[in-house]
Structure formats: structure tokens, C-alpha cells
Amino acid sequence: HFFSMERKVKRVSFLSVPRDVLPEIRAICIEEIGSWMQSYSTSFLTDSYLKYIGWTLHDKHRDVRLKCLKALKGLYGNQDLTARLELFTSRFKDRMVSMVMDREYDVAVEAVRLLILILKSMDGVLTDADCESIYPVVYASNRALASAAGEFLYWK
């Protein structure tokens, strides 16, 4: 009975996440689902839940995109979980790389930090073209972004 109830709660809670009108609710849901993926990876670290994080990488609100990147950093930073992120990575890698140019500097910085984790944990996933789009960011006027890009360059 517990698993039946668990499935119902998941369905009701997250089916409407990408469409919720309040960005604060979307951000909270993404933050929580990221925590659940780390804590209960057998139940939540699945393509059916990862897609919500992937979709909200395109969110128009800064806080939602930031929560997505932070949730993903928690997953890619755990070597035990990275093997289960291969399909997600192949689907959303281009978006994650493009977020290095996000108009919000804090989002761009988190995107670079996420890509550093991907670079370290998933050998060969980032192509030369992916990396070459990040290298010029070391000249960004924003110090935190330039520093993060410098760290990426160091690990490459």
C-alpha cells in the first residue's frame, strides 16, 4: 500500500511542476526532487523524474534555472549516481553548455561549475566543440564567471 500511495503522491506533486504559474513553487519542487534523487535514488533517479529537471533548465525565471543546476550538481558530484545520468546527459548536455552564456551571471557560474563536475565524472562526454564554447568565458567581465571558466580550463 505504501508504494501505491508513494506513486500517487509523486504523480500529483510533479506532473504539473513545469506548468505551475508561480516560479517559487517550481523552484521549491525542483530543489526537493533533486534532494529526493540523491537520498532515494532507486525510486527517484529515473528518466521520468529527470525530465522535469531537464525541462525546467529552460525556465524563464532565474531562481528555477539556478535550482535545476544546483540539483544537478548534487547528482553529478556523486560518482555512484553518474552512470544513471547518461541518457539525461545526452538529451540535455547542449542546454547545460549553452547556460554558460545565461544572461544571469549566477546561473552562468553554476552552469560552468556543473560542467566541471561532468568533465571530471563522465570522461569524453563534453566534446571539443562544447569546451571551446566555454574557453572564451575566462575573459568575462564578471569575476565569478571568469574564475569558474578558468577552473574549467584547468580541469580540461
Structural domain contains residue 3: no
Q: Which of 62, 81, 100 is the last residue of a domain?
A: 81
Looking at every residue in the chain, the average pLDDT score rounds to 89
CA distance 123 to 148: 20
Tell me, yes or no, whether 44 and 73 share the same domain: yes
pLDDT in tens, 108-124: 999 999 999 999 999 99
Q: Which of 81, 108, 128 is the last residue of a domain?
A: 81
3-state helix, strand, coil in the chain (%, to 5): 80, 0, 20
Question: For the chain, how many structural domains are there in total?
Answer: 2
pLDDT in tens, 118-154: 999 999 999 999 999 999 999 999 999 999 999 999 9
Structural domain contains residue 148: yes
pLDDT in tens, 71-93: 999 999 999 999 999 999 999 99
CA distance 144 to 110: 10
User: Which of 33-37, 60-64, 72-76, 93-97 has the weakest average pLDDT?
Assistant: 33-37
Q: Which domain holds residue 66?
A: 21-81
